[in-house]
Chain A
């Protein structure tokens, strides 16, 4: 691998791992949830609720499904072109 590419890979790994050291013990909840909490605390009541709100376990599966669909589209393109 070209040297700068190796550096990018390492940089990527460091960036992904860093939070566990810098913010040790944090619960890493979603930024949107934190904003939500901040607004509810100052007295704001949302005027609609999501129609369908999957429980966390189901949501994680649906997020995986979303990523899988993306992988399918990306992989199809790469595979199809690489074959030519």
Chain B
């Protein structure tokens, strides 16, 4: 669940747009580089974009009695790189902001930062750290993807609390707490999808071994 249109005061909306912009520009450059230098990864890139499209369209009930959707950014961050995720995230968030009144153009920067910058890097960094600690691969994937998902909503809560001081716990309760079971479910789904990919995509999955 992204921050709603108009719900960040103008200075905050502008500031987050400025913060997110370089990541997005850099990311589209990375995507172009990937297409030129590693054309074999193009299909994987579009698959990860598709995965994100699916997951962010699914609103899932949570134990808090409200619902939210997973982010789908962790898997792409692990299988390709966190650097390409802001480009994919921008496409998803623009689609939802324009067609679905979900998120919004004024909060696009803030939402890109939480979902397509912080989430992917948390997942990627955590996966590497956990593998260094010799945690089995599947456990590392579950934890990394789940916490990357959760981190997105922790950041959203902080973004709102910055604009509305004194309400951090409230927003964490609304966004982050709701996200806990959904994030864990996304972690499990990522492992299952990787298992499906193993049969024909061993080449692409080698990166999971190398990454630590």
- Prevailing SS type, chain B contact patch: helix
Q: Does B152 contact A (CB under 8 A)?
A: no
- On whether the beta carbons of B192 and A67 are closer than 8 Å, the reply is no
Q: How far is the CB of B162 from chain A (nearest CB, A)?
A: 13
- Prevailing SS type, chain A contact patch: helix
Q: How far is the CA of A30 from the CA of B66 in the complex (A)?
A: 6
Contact of B184 among A15, A26, A74 (CB under 8 A): A15
Q: Does B212 contact A (CB under 8 A)?
A: no
Q: Quick check: which of B22-30, B42-50, B115-123 contacts chain A, the rest being far away?
A: B42-50
Q: How far is the CA of A25 from the CA of B27 in the complex (A)?
A: 43
Binding site for B on A (CB under 8 A): 2, 4-5, 8-9, 11-12, 15-16, 18-20, 22-23, 26-32, 34-36, 38-39, 42, 44, 46-54, 59, 62-64, 66-67, 69-78, 80-82, 84
Contact of B101 among A19, A54, A64, A76 (CB under 8 A): A54
Contact of B181 among A18, A35, A44, A64 (CB under 8 A): A18
Interface size of B by Cβ–Cβ distance < 8 Å?
A: 68
Q: How far is the CB of B1 from chain A (nearest CB, A)?
A: 4
- On whether the beta carbons of A18 and B65 are closer than 8 Å, the reply is no
Binding site for A on B (CB under 8 A): 1-7, 9-10, 43-44, 46-47, 49-68, 95-102, 104-106, 138, 160, 164, 167, 170-171, 174-175, 178-179, 181-182, 184-185, 188-189, 191-192, 195-197, 199-201
- On whether the beta carbons of A63 and B50 are closer than 8 Å, the reply is no
Q: How far is the CA of A30 from the CA of B175 in the complex (A)?
A: 10
Q: How far is the CB of A19 from chain B (nearest CB, A)?
A: 4
**Which A-B residue pairs are the 10 nearest by beta carbons?**
A73-B50, A70-B53, A26-B65, A46-B6, A77-B47, A70-B54, A23-B65, A74-B50, A50-B101, A32-B1
Contact of B99 among A39, A62, A71, A76 (CB under 8 A): A62
Contact of A47 among B9, B43, B52, B96 (CB under 8 A): B9
